[in-house]
Chains A and B, each alone.
Chain A
């Protein structure tokens, strides 16, 4: 069974800081997802990765298949980025990490 570990569990930073959230998994996968969940529950899919790097606005996601590791970066962080960020991996099913709670202070 794939184990998905995220770090840190909680992160508080000042507006403008560069943010990195890490995800590691134990077994080979076909894809990795980064999701964002705001208070109130709705989940938004940010990225789906199977290799390399993707960028969307201030968000960058990278994955290293050999090391079984992915990172989500937020540049020029803003209070509206405050949310829970969830890493999920797909092997024969989707397995979710426990999430990283990010709080950006103005």
Chain B
């Protein structure tokens, strides 16, 4: 049974057109993470939530925003995607200090 679900799996958007990626979990974990992974690179943490407490990485561009309306759902909003934002976006969840469970990722293409 899928525990961390990401939708869509593949997303194509136009340069500058806002896009939202979604993540949901059935694990009732209180921590949720968004990572960006570009080709042949390690995942890069964008931000994470401890419950509703939002933690932004210092080098995450302002173009990236996130919302967590409840424990189960978390959204990544890219306000004005550029060509450099094309990547795999990975959502993960965990208990505090615990093992992370990753979703399958959303591959974003910017045209």
Contact = CB atoms under 8 A, between A and B. Distances in A.
Q: Is the interface of B mostly helix, strand, loop or mixed?
A: loop
Q: Is the interface of A mostly helix, strand, loop or mixed?
A: strand
A45 B42 contact: no
Contacts, number: 40
B75 interface: no
B43 A96 contact: yes
Given A41-B88, A41-B107, A43-B90, A96 B100 contact: no
Interface of B: 37, 41-43, 45, 88, 90, 92, 97-105, 107
Given A33-B100, A42-B105, 17 more contacts: A30-B97, A31-B97, A35-B102, A41-B105, A42-B103, A42-B104, A43-B43, A43-B90, A43-B105, A44-B102, A45-B100, A45-B102, A86-B43, A94-B45, A94-B100, A96-B42, A96-B43
Which 9 A-B pairs rank lowest in CB-CB distance, beginning with the nearest? A96-B42, A43-B102, A41-B105, A42-B104, A48-B99, A41-B88, A98-B42, A45-B99, A96-B43
